[in-house]
Chain A
Amino acid sequence: MDTSQYLHPDKELMTREEIEALQLERLQKTVRHCMNSPFYKQRFESIGLTPDDIKSLDDLRKIPFTTKQDLRDTYPFGIASVPLDKCVRLHSSSGTTGNPTVILHTQRDLDEWANAVARCLHMVGLRPTDVFQNSSGYGMFTGGLGFQYGAERLGMLTVPAAAGNTLRQLKFIKDFGTTALHAIPSYAARLYEVMVEQGIDPRKDTKLKTLVIGAEPHSEEQRRRIENMLGVKAYNSFGMSEMCGPGVAFECKEQNGLHIWEDYYIVEIVDPETLEPVPEGQIGELVLTTINREAMPLLRYRTRDLTRILPGECPCGRNHKRLDRMQGRSDDMIILKGVNIFPIQIEKILLQFQELATDYLITLETLDNNDGMTIEVELSTLFTDDYARLEKLTKEITRRLKDEILVTPRVRLVANGSLPKSEGKAVRVKDLRKKF
């Protein structure tokens, strides 16, 4: 078998049984190692759990979740499982909403991280002959150094352009013959705008062929638009600083779901409310356990990111599970009449109606002691002069929403431009329910 398309065929081509065997071995090792962490030692003792109780992968569920709050409470080094003199680097979040979160790395952690990123980049067809330009911020932000070391590990010529200065980025792309670029999706679109302004045709005047995009939620339509603008293939990257950074999950050439490296992470999808696992294929909160990390393993870390495992096998030959595109944050979840609803589900349906503009507002309110949901949607153009057809549209939207979210919302058509714009974190949900 020709395994040249796999950087680590021994890991990438493992069968499900082999993956699970390796995961159990690494989980048991990780849990034992975590007893060096004052935080985990205390947490295990408080519920009478010992590493010996972890006999199967199912036993993972005996371990309590680790949350972002735990990272803040133990700031800066309280979760570390090795002494600080064994660590060679730390990365930290910005801490805009409280104490920053700090992740420590040993030299081995950095090596394994670089291997994971290199595996991702190789998976989308990048080779040592490529020139890789990274327009991420360097420094504490993991997208900079994370891709830097991964791209070097793969053996590409790297251009650590860092963020900003679009004209300089373009000069590098042209002068150094950049073939692959890592950028957030909105910046990729910006680059194209400036190319047009400068009279640069990305297809003729540059050698760009691969884009790595991530760190910013984007839709499939946005990806296709970027691909068409720049004449490239764009691959979705998923990472978070708590899990090292980039390299956690990545699309393969199929561009249909992100393979999460199960020799590095054990993935669970749980209901954010009950914390019970959801049936395979359903949306829930992504929970990750690091099983290939030394300085600061995290057990059952609640990422707050919502996604689902894509069912079925991937034609690329890798059995590592595929995550769907991130579907928002679990903090956004609405519970109405005992049903969990994610605004993204509503958005997805509304996007299917060409008669509607992109903004919407969900209001939860109590009427006659009954909780209900009103969804205001903007009519983009008036497509008819007929009340009956507007009424029919309203009914059709209501029906499709009900099929998706299982409760019947009240749908109200409103004038174009009358709802708050969706820039940044727009308020899409207003909860005016009476609390009992």
Chain B
Amino acid sequence: MTIQQLSVFVENKSGAMLHILNLLKAEGIQLLAVNIADTVEYGIFRIICSEPSKAYNVLKDAKVSVTLTDVFAIELDDEVGELANVLEIFNKEGISITYLYSFLLNGKGIMIFRTIDNERTREVINLNHLKFITEPNLYTLV
């Protein structure tokens, strides 16, 4: 039910993200979404891309500190209040969201998020018939 996200350790210095992106570009890896917060010394650069395992190996070989993280991806209708409705469900079920970001893909909103309890999150997604996305169908949306 989850998809793989690249999580890359980047120092807060000029060119750090560019270095990562150039490595992926050279191997023809396509990015679907990226996210990073403004922190003081370093950040975790989170990337949803085509071929996450290959991307992981590319970065690993270049001695980049990187890990693959299982995250949830839920498809949302592009309508007012959709994200609020989904968060309402998680809130009721007592599931805290560690981080969240979203992007649009072919007119569909995609919400990427991580929680501290994957098992419970899976149950809640199933019980509430939320439209989760798996890796194969994420790429066919492209």
Q: Roughly how many angstroms separate A416 CA and B62 CA in the complex, as a whole number? A: 9
**3 A-B pairs closest in CB distance:** A385-B69, A385-B7, A382-B65
Check B39 against A414 for contact (C-beta < 8 Å).
Answer: no
B119 within 8 A of A: no
Q: Roughly how many angstroms separate A417 CA and B11 CA in the complex, as a whole number? A: 12
Instruction: Determine the chain A residues whose CB is within 8 A of the CB of B16 once the complex forms.
Output: 415
Min Cβ gap B13→A in Å is 9
Interface footprint category on B = 20 to 34
Instruction: Determine the chain A residues whose CB is within 8 A of the CB of B63 once the complex forms.
Output: 416-417
Check B67 against A415 for contact (C-beta < 8 Å).
Answer: no
A383 within 8 A of B: yes
Min Cβ gap B111→A in Å is 17
Q: How many residues on the A side are at the interface (Cβ–Cβ under 8 A)? A: 17
Q: Roughly how many angstroms separate A387 CA and B42 CA in the complex, as a whole number? A: 10
Check B41 against A413 for contact (C-beta < 8 Å).
Answer: yes
Min Cβ gap A183→B in Å is 31
Given A415-B16, A416-B64, the answer on whether A382 and B44 have CB atoms closer than 8 Å is yes
Within 8 Å by CB of B114, from A381, A385, A390, A412, lies A385
Name the residue of chain B whose CB is nearest to the CB of A379.
B65
Min Cβ gap A23→B in Å is 53
Q: Roughly how many angstroms separate A383 CA and B67 CA in the complex, as a whole number? A: 6
Given A415-B64, A415-B65, the answer on whether A382 and B11 have CB atoms closer than 8 Å is no
Instruction: Determine the chain B residues whose CB is within 8 A of the CB of A384 once the complex forms.
Output: 67
Given A387-B44, A418-B11, the answer on whether A382 and B98 have CB atoms closer than 8 Å is no
Name the residue of chain A whose CB is nearest to the CB of B60.
A381
Check A379 against B39 for contact (C-beta < 8 Å).
Answer: no
B66 within 8 A of A: yes
Q: List 10 A-B contacts (CB under 8 A).
A: A381-B60, A385-B5, A385-B44, A385-B114, A387-B39, A413-B41, A414-B11, A415-B16, A415-B64, A418-B11
Q: Roughly how many angstroms separate A379 CA and B7 CA in the complex, as a whole number? A: 13
Within 8 Å by CB of B67, from A382, A412, A416, lies A382
